[in-house]
Amino acid sequence: MSINVSVQASGSQASVTLRGVLDSMSQVTLKQQLEPVLANGAVTQIRLDFAGVQSMEAASAGMLMMLSHTAKSKNKSVGIVNANPAVLSLMHKANLGKVLQIQ
């Protein structure tokens, strides 16, 4: 399965909507879509909307940690919203709440 990524940037905030499965194959797509957001100096907040994410592999937690560290090095914050209970549980097991804002 794959992931669909939609990015909308407005002022200092970028909203990234994800739909599908976040696995090792779809991580490449997500990284490619986020590169312009990370390079955009005006963006200081990145909001990942996980409402459409059906499932997430544990390996993707590592990619999200790296995203957080990269964003932080560029003075940006990353937050995750609307994750389903199974994805949220995996995020908590991976201690993502220590490096990302999870709502």
The residue whose two tokens read 């459409």 is: 52
Helix (H), strand (E) at residue 59: helix 58-73
The residue whose two tokens read 């544990």 is: 58
Q: In the chain, what are the domains? A: 17-102 (3.30.750.24)
As a whole number of angstroms, the longest Cα–Cα distance in the chain is 34
pLDDT tens-digit profile of 18-70? Answer: 999 999 889 889 999 999 999 999 999 999 999 999 999 999 999 999 999 99
Strand order in the sheet with 3-10: 3-10, 13-22, 45-56, 77-81, 101-102
Q: With contact defined as beta carbons under 8 Å apart, do 45 and 13 qualify?
A: yes
Whether the model pTM is above 0.95: no
